[in-house]
């Protein structure tokens, strides 16, 4: 597969087979209490229970195991505020190849510790997308490592789509599937899988009100890249990728914005009702349901809970 081309459903099927020896098939969980609060039937895909603690392992694993032997031997490089970096580091370890991760200075300490724990080399930079990409290019030039972008690489997008494929296989047809949206890799993979397996199902992206570039991009019909994110959702601060923008438009994904306050409330609710500790960047999907009850009333709704790598020394309450 050309990692610069837009992926299709066949790429997701290939990814599912490729990552099967390495990734967990995570459970789909239910809560009658949350169903009552939300006014709909919720099916939670529990990706915090994925290896490396987030759905990101799917895309990273697919990318790493897609490489030919000569390319793999030179290693992989990426930039990441946390979960993709940890996922790529672990995926690289499963293949025994080097991994380099460029991280912003303001990344969550617990996520940086995990990346190092999986054996990656950290390269620190200023907390801007421009600085991350510049240092990533430098590391790539110095090492010959293969770039595995967090959300624009088609191998990553295809891998992320496997979560929705599993969700739909477990639940049957749903009326809606909700995912957080930052760079757009998960939302894109979700949209591709949903159109193939449940074409009548709507896909919604939940985005922080303080980093609503995807919402604005879809509203204007062009990518919005000039913004400064201001949100507790550290995993959703990335700029919407160009291929992801194309895929979200093509598949009619609708994005709704959520305040950080509502996201934190949903994070607490998941802990209280389901005993699931999820990141704000994950809880935002439930917060979107609760903030737009009329949109989902009486429906069967899939919610991809994306990650659980929470800094326990810095809980938002």
Does 288 score more than 80 pLDDT?
A: yes
Topology given in CATH for the domain delimited by 9-54+157-314: Rossmann fold (3.40.50)
CA distances from 158 to 171, 187, 278, 281, 289 (A): 21, 11, 23, 21, 26
Q: Are 52 and 114 contacting, i.e. CB atoms less than 8 angstroms apart?
A: yes
Does 108 score more than 80 pLDDT?
A: no
- Tell me, what's the pLDDT at 1? 53
Report the percentage of the chain scoring pLDDT > 70: 99
Query: What architecture (CATH level 2) is domain 57-147?
Result: 3-Layer(aba) Sandwich (3.40)
> For 110-119, how does the pLDDT look when each residue is reduced to its tens digit (9 = 90+)?
788 889 999 9
| Listed range (10-14, 132-136, 245-249) with the worst mean pLDDT | 132-136
Torsion sign over Cα 257, 292, 232, 81: negative
Q: Which residues pair with 78 in a beta bridge?
A: 101
CA distances from 105 to 127, 140, 151 (A): 6, 20, 20
Of 81, 92, 110, the closest CA to residue 211 belongs to: 81
Reported as a pLDDT band with limits 50, 70 and 90, residue 317 is confident
First vs last Cα of the chain: how many Å apart?
44
CATH 3.40.50.1100 residue ranges of the chain are 9-54+157-314, 57-147
Does 234 score more than 60 pLDDT?
A: yes
- Tell me, what's the pLDDT at 2? 57
- Tell me, what's the pLDDT at 70? 97
> For 43-71, how does the pLDDT look when each residue is reduced to its tens digit (9 = 90+)?
999 999 999 999 999 999 999 999 999 99
Give the mean pLDDT of the chain: 95
């Amino acid at each position: 597969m050309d990692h610069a081309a837009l992926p299709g459903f066949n790429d997701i099927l290939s990814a599912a087979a490729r990552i099967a020896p390495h990734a967990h098939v995570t459970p789909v969980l239910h809560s009658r209490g949350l169903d009552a609060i939300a006014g709909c039937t919720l099916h939670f895909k529990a990706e915090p229970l994925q290896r490396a603690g987030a759905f990101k392992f799917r895309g990273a694993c697919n990318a790493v195991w897609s490489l030919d032997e000569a390319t793999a031997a030179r290693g992989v490089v990426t930039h990441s505020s946390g979960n993709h970096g940890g996922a790529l580091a672990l995926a690289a370890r499963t293949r025994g190849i080097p991994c380099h991760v460029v991280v912003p200075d303001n990344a969550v300490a617990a996520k940086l510790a995990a990346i190092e724990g999986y054996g990656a080399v950290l390269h620190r930079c200023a907390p801007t997308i421009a600085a991350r990409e510049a240092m990533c290019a430098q590391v790539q030039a110095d090492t010959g490592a293969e770039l595995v972008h967090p959300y624009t690489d088609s191998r990553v997008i295809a891998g992320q789509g496997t979560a929705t494929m599993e969700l739909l296989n477990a639940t049957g047809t749903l009326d809606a599937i909700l995912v957080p949206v930052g760079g757009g890799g998960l939302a894109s993979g979700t949209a591709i899988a949903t159109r193939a397996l449940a074409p009548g199902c709507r896909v919604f992206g939940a985005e922080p009100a303080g980093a609503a570039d995807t919402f604005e991009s879809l509203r204007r019909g062009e990518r919005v890249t000039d913004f400064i994110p201001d949100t507790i959702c550290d995993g959703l601060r990335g700029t919407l990728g160009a291929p992801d923008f194309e895929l979200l438009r093509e598949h009619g994904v609708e994005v709704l914005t959520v305040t950080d306050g509502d996201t934190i409330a949903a994070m607490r609710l998941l802990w209280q009702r389901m005993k699931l500790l999820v990141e704000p960047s994950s809880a935002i999907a439930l917060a979107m349901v609760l903030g737009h009850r009329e949109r989902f009333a009486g429906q069967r709704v899939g919610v991809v809970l994306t990650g659980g790598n929470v800094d326990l020394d810095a809980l938002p309450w």
